[in-house]
Structure formats: structure tokens, C-alpha cells
Chains A and B, each alone.
Chain A
């Protein structure tokens, strides 16, 4: 076969695969003309393309995955055959000798590089093994097989042994048996029961979809005689597995396997898409259950994202309201559509707080009783529509992933918007339709993210903040001038991302622009303007200017009263934020009446058992604590914590509230032992739900170290902090938020113990990591440098401290200018370190 012919076939092939099936044949014939050999080759190629999944090249040289070369044993199990294979794992059917049974074994294809992953696997698999529920595929055993390949070479292969379920995916089962709506609802209610069981044990599924829910065939159900679907048992598979594999395995594959990702996206909650698996909580599973229910009842997915480019799919799920069920079929009008809509609310605060409550409403509906969910008020629907363009803002805390998704898509774009001249750009922008604006945004981000793409001409070590700063710089230089609405979208994303990195000065910059923009385009009596002002207030407040924050929150409050009405939740929430700003000002007295009012209003509007009520009550506790009124603080905690634990176990807020209670109430009222037990419990749950290196898990460990010090167990405290530090440093990603605090605590402890050298060494490591991550001129690096200089000084290394401060002052001069008070302070050398 000639090389030229292969090249020609390649060209035709590449274009043909882009075409829909039916039009391919004609296209190929027109391209091949009367070259029969070429035509035959192209046909062969296309048929190979369509039918070659699982062929010899798809599992590169992996002998374990097929046919005669299949390994025959794993530990005590005899492997029978491969029953499933994916990018992440191979699933075998296997026989166990004793007890004699057939099981499924899932062997993860762990990368050679991920020791962290193995450690996490062992920890979590143990917890998963304790889930015992008829609706959950039981994990019998799990482990990491250590296989010695050669002297000094040990391969570690994590695996699960689980219940083998011969069944069909939920939706297939329902359709095959033509189940009635009632039967479908009952099935989903049973799935909810299983999910609720796991939630109560702190396990979140994170990847619920019909493919992960098998309905056992009647003959394999315990009572084989009953073939009625009334006794069909849906079994949920892969509980918590998304988290074990998700951390390090799914993110990298996101780029290539966009298709597969999109398949999973359809069931993923907006907050998961925006913030990644870490931001998922029990309510994210409730969302997925809602989608499953929607699909089972209507036969279609709420968001049709198949065939959409990734960024469009993401936007669609985050912003678009799915068609109401009642609009699809008359039989689905009324309460059932309210139930589904409530489960699928984009704002998780508005969803059913638990799978149990979703199940209860389904069963109430089936029994003909009144359901608890209420249909949206007309006002709310209006507001929800107005919210569309701010979806990224609402996914607070995790737009980084959103950016990564944009970037992944943008890389694939051939258009180089940046290479156009200003006039060309303006002309192109003016001609854009609404739908094309997202493309412009992609192109812009692509031009920024190209910096991070492998490029021989450039250094490869650009940090995330470099990219964000570059994007900011380009916007400020007018890269998107003439198309403000697109710019507003980009700035919103950037603000959220900076916010999640706690880089508040940068947030302030973007929010100022957005405040002005919204005032201009929407007017000062608009929801958009209100949100922007509020966000700006928060940014100022957290950037160390709570006075400005108070002023802006007061303005926001004024707007909220006019726009949403005196009794609206927005007014209450703004009151809560205002109280927080007052607290940051150190004005607990002023904060108290405001915080009290917020609690009173929430109670009135939502009742004491609602999550938002618990949240403002918890904030009130902080006010009481600052005023030294500990018994009132404790009362607040007593009301808030049970609600948190019930509705959102192991989430960020819950974890924070729990360690706050132990540190600020139990410890300060002389109940250190109780505080210790409470914190250990909190840490255990948070390690499971948030991960060992999450900032709140680490914060709980810091609180425990403090308690241990109170109890005189200095060595334990030191060990705990040093472990926490190691956990922070095990993370190679950008998440460094917790490390600064831990290293400070640890250094203080070491200084007090007379081990100054250790304190210096650890501070220096963190400083180095911050500089690598954010750059040498970044605020966080500068503050860590100041701390390090202080440690040096306190160890008597005055000269080193002096020279570090001189370096610091000159960096500060570059960043903040010569007249800034920080520059001024550091210029004074060690004298500036004295208490101010």
C-alpha cells in the first residue's frame, strides 16, 4: 500500500468521522471517485473506527484484560472472566473458596506515581466496607495487592472485592419491563433509602447515575420464586469510589475523554461541576437522584448535553432551567413535577436537604398525601431567570475547575482570537450572536491558557495565579473592550477563582469593575447590582478593610429592601454579612443586635430546623463568644450543630462549626477532654468527606493541638501539627491555604520549646512553596516572609532577619509602592516587627 494512498485515506477519514452517519457514504464516494482501492480502504477504516473498541490497541499491551492471557488468581480469588473494563479499572468475575461464592473484583489501574492515591484508597475502602444495606452493593474486602515483580520492585495494585450483581441498569430495567410511573417512583424511593443510609455514615456517592444502579434480575434475588418487580431490589454500586479515584485520576483525563465526561456531567450537580468533587455534599447526591427521577419518568435527560462542546455542556447545566416535566407529558403535571424540580434545584440550599426527605415526599405522593415541597412562587421564578448569567458566581469556591474545563476546551480551538488586530476583533465581536459569545470567552481564555500549554519556547512552570494575573492584566489593557457582557462573564469567573484562592485584593479589582458595569447596564435597583455590591463588600472586608465592608453592606441592605422586599431572605442574609463585617471591625457590640435580628428573621421564615437558620445561629455564636458570653454562645451551637450534622454531615461549614464549638466553647469552659473527643470525631468525619488535606480538616487538627496543649500533652500536639504540615505538603496542587496557619502554630510551639532551628526550617519550606506557587511578589509570599523574619529574629538571628526584611521591603515597594504602610513597616527592619 503506498504512503500517498494512506495519507489520502487519512484526510478523507478525518473529515468523514466529523459527519453524521447517513451523509458519510455520499461524502466518501465523492472523495474517492473511481479509485476502488481507496474507497475500500476508507470503508475498512471507518468500520474499524466504529467497531474496534476493546480491540488489541485499546488496552495497551495490558495482558490482564483479555482472553487467555487473563491472570488467573488474585489473592484468594480465582478470576473467571472480565466483565467490565474502563479507563480506571478492570472488573472481573471471580470465585472465592471460602465462603464459597461468586464475587466481582474491581482492580484499579493505579498510575505508578500515585502513592498518595494508594494511601487514600486504603483509608476509604475500609469505611466503604462497613456499608451494609440491601440497596448497596456490599464491599466484602479491599486491599492493595503487593506483588513483587523483581528484587526491589513491588507493584501495588488496589482492588475491591464486592457483591456480584447480575442485573440491568435502572433505566433499562424500567423500560424493559414497561414499569408504570408508580413502580418507577417506588424504585427511586428505594434508591433514596440506600443513599440516605450511606449519607448517615458520612459517605457521599458523587457519581450517581442509572449505570451505577443495577436492578437485580428476579432469579438472583433472595426469594427467587417471586418474579414481580414489586420486590425488585435496586443496588447502588461504586459508593464513594468517585472520591477515591476522582482526586487524581479523573481530572487529568478530563481533557481527552470529553465525551465520557459529558455522559457523567448530565447527572452532576452544578456545584460539583463548578467546584469539583471536593465541593460535593449530600445534597449533590440529591440532585443526581432528581435527574435520575426526571429521566425515568420522562424518558429524557433534563439537560440534553450530548454532542455539545464541553464548555457549553457545563454552562447548560449550571444555567439553563430544564423543561418542566408537566410540559413534556400531561400525566407528569402537578405535585410530581414539583418534587422533581425541588430535588434538581440549582441552588443546593433550596433542594431537599436529604435523600430521606426526597423519598418521603415520593411516598407521600404515592399515598396521595400532601407533599412537603412547594411550587416556586412567581416572584422566585422571575428571579431565577434573572440569575442565568451569574451562574458561575453562585458556584462560589471552586471556579478553578470551571476554568480548567474552559481551558481544556479552549486548547482545542483553532481560532486565535488574540492574533487579530484590534479592528478585526471589534468587527468580529460586533457581529456575534448571543450564542457565540461563549466562544469569544473561550478564545480569550485559550489565549491566556496557552501560556500553560507545553511550548518549547517557554518555561513550563507557570502557576495558576500567573495565569489569572495574566488574564486580569489583559482585561485591564482592554483585550475585550467593546464587548462588555463577555468581559463581565470573564471577570466574574476570575473573581470567583481569586476568591477561592483567598486572594482578596484581586477580587476587589474585578468586583469594582462589575459594580460599575452593573450600575450602568442594569441600574442601581437591580439584583445584579446588589450581588456585585455585596461581593465587593465581602472582598474588602476579607482583604482587611472591614470598614469599607460595613459601608458597602449597608448600601446592599438598602437595595435588598427595595428590590426583594423587607421580609426577603436576601435582606436577612445581608444582615448576617453585615454583622460579620462588624465583627471584623472588632465591634461585637454593634454586631450583636444585627446578628440577633438575622436569626430571628430566619427562624420566622424557615423554621429552626432549616440549614440557613442554623448557619446564622452559628454566626451569632461567634458574636457571643467575642463578647465573652460563653453560655449564650453554647446555646447557639447547641441549636445549630444538630441541624448541620443532620442535613450536611461532614461539609465545610459543619466541620468549621464543630471545631469552633470545641475550641471556643468546650475548651474555654474547662471541658478540654470533651473538646478532644469532639474534635477527634470531627477530624475523622472531615478526613473522610473533605479529605485529609482539606483546609477545614487541618483547621480542626490545629484546634485539637491547642486542646492538647491545654491538657499538657505538648509532644502529641507537636506530632499532630507536624503530621498536618506533612498532609499540606503532600498536596502538589495549588491548595496551600491551610499550610500557612499550621506552620505558624508549629513554629510557635517549637519556639516555645526552644527548638528554634526547626521553626526556622519549616517556615522556610512554606515560604519557598508559596513563592513557587504564587511568585515572589505575591501578598501571601510577602506575609510568610515577614513571619519567617520574625522567627529568625526571635531565635537571635538578627542579621538574617534584617536582610530578609530588607529584601521584603524592596519587594513590597515594587508591589505596593514606597508609601504603603506595609512597605514602610518592613523598611524599619526588625523594629517594625515589634507589636504594632
Chain B
């Protein structure tokens, strides 16, 4: 996996994660663009390759990005927490961006470039849902930041409950409680829109 990649960026990220874990907030700030670029780059590379159906899930993308960026060593749970926090933000950004672009096309709002850079990631949510989710998430962020972070890590970074608990340094019980409420809240807010087909169950 990406073995030819130079050591430079990975060392960089590992260093930033360690600094961020040690409380250096500027390191955390520098992290986001690096992770963002890596995720977009990976998405671009995969979309350049295969037909739809063979694509990597966005959540798997995040894990792959982790493997390729942080191969310099284990940054510890706190460092991992910072990484996945940044990755979740980057992923949310990419997907919202993509949804806005699609919406713009639909509404005929000008020409949109169709270069590979702008090819779409295969997301399960439709455009209105994605935008509604973003709005609902902003509401939740204003009300309870921790609950919103749980959603970010679980939904956008694809972490399991255990991984989320570890990344945030809180107990599993807390994560499960937060998730239960946040999920219900977001679903309730999403129901105002056309949800389309429900999941199979």
C-alpha cells in the first residue's frame, strides 16, 4: 500500500499528531489541509481507475489515508483521535462540496467542470439528505459539541463505537448514549425531507 510514497509527508503527519496530542493547537490546524489533500488525492486516484461498484467506501478511504499517512509509527490514542477528527472534517467538507456541486448542476446554475478532480464519491445519501444532514449537524454542534463529534467520527470517519470512545478519550457508555440521541435527532431532522428508499432490514 503506497510503499513508494516518500517518508516525508508521513513523518510530518506523525509529528503533527504527536504535537497535537501534546496540546499544540497549531499542529492540529496544520493537520487538516494535509489530511484533506490526501483524501482527495486518493479519491481521485481511485475514480480514475475503476467503474463504479469497485470503488472504495469513503470510510475505508479514511482508514487507508491513515495507513498511508501515519506509517511512521503509532501516534497513541490521542494522536489517532486528532487524525480521525481531522479526517472526519475533511470528509464532511468533500462530501458537502460534492453535494452542493451536484445541486448546482441540477438547478442549472452555470457550467461545472467535469475533470476527474470533480468526479463523485459513491455516497449512499442523496443530495438533499446530505445537505440536510449538514444543517442538522450544525444545529447539534451548537447545542452539544460532544454529541456532534461522535457523529463526525462515526459517520464521516467510519469509526466503530469503540474506536470513537478511544479517539475521544471518553467511555463507551457515553459514546453509546450520545450516539443514540444524535442519531435520533438527525433522523428526525432528515425526515422533513424526502428520504427515498429506506435501508433494507
Which residues from chain A sit less than 8 Å from chain B, CB to CB?
1, 3-4, 6-7, 9-10, 13-14, 17, 41, 44-49, 52-69, 71-73, 81-85, 111-113, 147-155, 252-253, 255-256, 408, 411-412, 453-456, 460
Please, which residues of chain B bring their CB within 8 A of the CB of A81? 200
Closest to B176 in A: A256
How far apart sit A45 and B143, CA to CA, in the bound complex (Å)?
Answer: 15
Closest to B139 in A: A1
How far apart sit A11 and B1, CA to CA, in the bound complex (Å)?
Answer: 46
Closest to A111 in B: B63
How far apart sit A451 and B113, CA to CA, in the bound complex (Å)?
Answer: 54
Which residues from chain B sit less than 8 Å from chain A, CB to CB?
1-4, 42, 45-46, 48-50, 53-60, 63-64, 67, 76-78, 95, 122-125, 129, 133, 139-140, 142-144, 147, 151, 154-156, 158, 160-162, 165-166, 169, 171-173, 175-177, 180-181, 183-188, 190-191, 195-201
Nearest-Cβ distance from residue B66 to partner chain A, whole angstroms? 8
Partner of B143, one of A10, A17, A59, A72: A10
Please, which residues of chain A bring their CB within 8 A of the CB of B45? 149-151, 153
Closest to B2 in A: A152
Nearest-Cβ distance from residue A164 to partner chain B, whole angstroms? 15
19 CB contacts below 8 A, A to B, read A4-B143, A6-B139, A6-B142, A6-B143, A7-B143, A48-B184, A61-B57, A61-B124, A69-B122, A72-B53, A148-B50, A149-B46, A149-B55, A152-B2, A153-B1, A256-B172, A411-B173, A460-B76, A460-B77
A150, B48: Cβ atoms closer than 8 Å: yes
Closest to B125 in A: A56
* Interface of B: prevailing SS: helix
Partner of B191, one of A48, A54, A72: A48
Q: A6-B143, A56-B195, A149-B50 are in contact. Are A454 and B1 (CB under 8 A)?
A: no
How far apart sit A603 and B190, CA to CA, in the bound complex (Å)?
Answer: 71
B56, A149: Cβ atoms closer than 8 Å: yes
Nearest-Cβ distance from residue B31 to partner chain A, whole angstroms? 18
B188, A85: Cβ atoms closer than 8 Å: no
B1, A155: Cβ atoms closer than 8 Å: no
How far apart sit A44 and B186, CA to CA, in the bound complex (Å)?
Answer: 11
B158, A60: Cβ atoms closer than 8 Å: yes
Q: A13-B184, A45-B185 are in contact. Are A56 and B129 (CB under 8 A)?
A: yes
Please, which residues of chain B bring their CB within 8 A of the CB of A57? 151, 155, 183, 186-187
B53, A3: Cβ atoms closer than 8 Å: no
How far apart sit A56 and B95, CA to CA, in the bound complex (Å)?
Answer: 15
How far apart sit A111 and B67, CA to CA, in the bound complex (Å)?
Answer: 12
Nearest-Cβ distance from residue B94 to partner chain A, whole angstroms? 11
A65, B160: Cβ atoms closer than 8 Å: no
Which are the 10 A-B pairs with shortest beta-carbon distances?
A: A54-B199, A6-B143, A150-B45, A54-B201, A67-B197, A3-B143, A82-B200, A48-B187, A150-B46, A412-B173
Closest to A13 in B: B181
B181, A45: Cβ atoms closer than 8 Å: yes
A255, B172: Cβ atoms closer than 8 Å: yes
Please, which residues of chain A bring their CB within 8 A of the CB of B197? 66-68
How far apart sit A60 and B63, CA to CA, in the bound complex (Å)?
Answer: 13
Q: A56-B129, A71-B53 are in contact. Are A83 and B162 (CB under 8 A)?
A: no
Nearest-Cβ distance from residue B159 to partner chain A, whole angstroms? 9
How far apart sit A253 and B175, CA to CA, in the bound complex (Å)?
Answer: 14
Partner of B147, one of A10, A53, A71, A112: A10
Partner of B124, one of A52, A66, A83, A147: A66
A149, B160: Cβ atoms closer than 8 Å: no
How far apart sit A66 and B126, CA to CA, in the bound complex (Å)?
Answer: 12
Please, which residues of chain A bring their CB within 8 A of the CB of B162? 252-253, 255-256
B142, A3: Cβ atoms closer than 8 Å: yes
How far apart sit A81 and B200, CA to CA, in the bound complex (Å)?
Answer: 9
Nearest-Cβ distance from residue B24 to partner chain A, whole angstroms? 14
Interface centre among A46, A52, A148, A150 (most CB of B within 10 A): A150
B185, A6: Cβ atoms closer than 8 Å: yes
Nearest-Cβ distance from residue A405 to partner chain B, whole angstroms? 13
B199, A66: Cβ atoms closer than 8 Å: yes
Nearest-Cβ distance from residue A15 to partner chain B, whole angstroms? 11
Partner of A63, one of B57, B77, B169: B57
Please, which residues of chain B bring their CB within 8 A of the CB of A44? 188, 191
A456, B42: Cβ atoms closer than 8 Å: no
Please, which residues of chain A bring their CB within 8 A of the CB of B140? 6
How far apart sit A171 and B144, CA to CA, in the bound complex (Å)?
Answer: 45
A69, B160: Cβ atoms closer than 8 Å: no
Please, which residues of chain B bring their CB within 8 A of the CB of A10? 143-144, 147, 181, 185
Nearest-Cβ distance from residue B115 to partner chain A, whole angstroms? 17
A112, B201: Cβ atoms closer than 8 Å: no
A256, B171: Cβ atoms closer than 8 Å: no
A61, B155: Cβ atoms closer than 8 Å: yes
Q: A45-B185, A460-B76 are in contact. Are A17 and B169 (CB under 8 A)?
A: no
A17, B124: Cβ atoms closer than 8 Å: no
Interface centre among B67, B76, B129, B200 (most CB of A within 10 A): B200
Please, which residues of chain A bring their CB within 8 A of the CB of B181? 10, 13-14, 45
Closest to A8 in B: B143
Please, which residues of chain A bring their CB within 8 A of the CB of B188? 41, 44-45, 47-48
B169, A150: Cβ atoms closer than 8 Å: no
B183, A52: Cβ atoms closer than 8 Å: yes
Q: A65-B124, A83-B200 are in contact. Are A153 and B56 (CB under 8 A)?
A: yes
How far apart sit A84 and B200, CA to CA, in the bound complex (Å)?
Answer: 7
A52, B67: Cβ atoms closer than 8 Å: no
How far apart sit A130 and B187, CA to CA, in the bound complex (Å)?
Answer: 45
Q: A14-B177, A66-B197, A85-B200 are in contact. Are A152 and B184 (CB under 8 A)?
A: no
How far apart sit A82 and B173, CA to CA, in the bound complex (Å)?
Answer: 31
Please, which residues of chain B bring their CB within 8 A of the CB of A154? 1
Nearest-Cβ distance from residue B82 to partner chain A, whole angstroms? 12
Partner of A17, one of B125, B165, B180, B186: B180
How far apart sit A53 and B183, CA to CA, in the bound complex (Å)?
Answer: 10
How far apart sit A455 and B168, CA to CA, in the bound complex (Å)?
Answer: 10
Nearest-Cβ distance from residue A17 to partner chain B, whole angstroms? 7
A63, B201: Cβ atoms closer than 8 Å: no
Nearest-Cβ distance from residue A737 to partner chain B, whole angstroms? 26
A112, B60: Cβ atoms closer than 8 Å: yes
Closest to B54 in A: A147
A45, B201: Cβ atoms closer than 8 Å: no
How far apart sit A412 and B49, CA to CA, in the bound complex (Å)?
Answer: 46
How far apart sit A254 and B123, CA to CA, in the bound complex (Å)?
Answer: 29
B198, A54: Cβ atoms closer than 8 Å: yes
Closest to B174 in A: A412
Nearest-Cβ distance from residue A81 to partner chain B, whole angstroms? 7
How far apart sit A455 and B169, CA to CA, in the bound complex (Å)?
Answer: 6
How far apart sit A60 and B195, CA to CA, in the bound complex (Å)?
Answer: 16
How far apart sit A155 and B53, CA to CA, in the bound complex (Å)?
Answer: 12
Please, which residues of chain B bring their CB within 8 A of the CB of A152? 1-4
How far apart sit A172 and B67, CA to CA, in the bound complex (Å)?
Answer: 46
Closest to A91 in B: B200
Closest to A18 in B: B177
How far apart sit A460 and B74, CA to CA, in the bound complex (Å)?
Answer: 12
B124, A56: Cβ atoms closer than 8 Å: yes
A61, B187: Cβ atoms closer than 8 Å: no
Interface centre among B49, B60, B165 (most CB of A within 10 A): B60
Partner of B171, one of A47, A153, A411: A411
Please, which residues of chain A bring their CB within 8 A of the CB of B151? 57
A63, B122: Cβ atoms closer than 8 Å: yes
How far apart sit A161 and B78, CA to CA, in the bound complex (Å)?
Answer: 41
A153, B64: Cβ atoms closer than 8 Å: yes
Q: Other CB < 8 Å A-B pairs besides A57-B155, A253-B162, 9 of them?
A: A6-B140, A6-B144, A49-B180, A61-B57, A63-B57, A71-B53, A81-B200, A149-B55, A151-B49
B49, A150: Cβ atoms closer than 8 Å: yes
How far apart sit A131 and B55, CA to CA, in the bound complex (Å)?
Answer: 33
How far apart sit A53 and B180, CA to CA, in the bound complex (Å)?
Answer: 11
A61, B59: Cβ atoms closer than 8 Å: yes
A150, B172: Cβ atoms closer than 8 Å: no
Closest to A151 in B: B45
Q: A7-B144, A57-B155, A411-B171 are in contact. Are A155 and B60 (CB under 8 A)?
A: yes
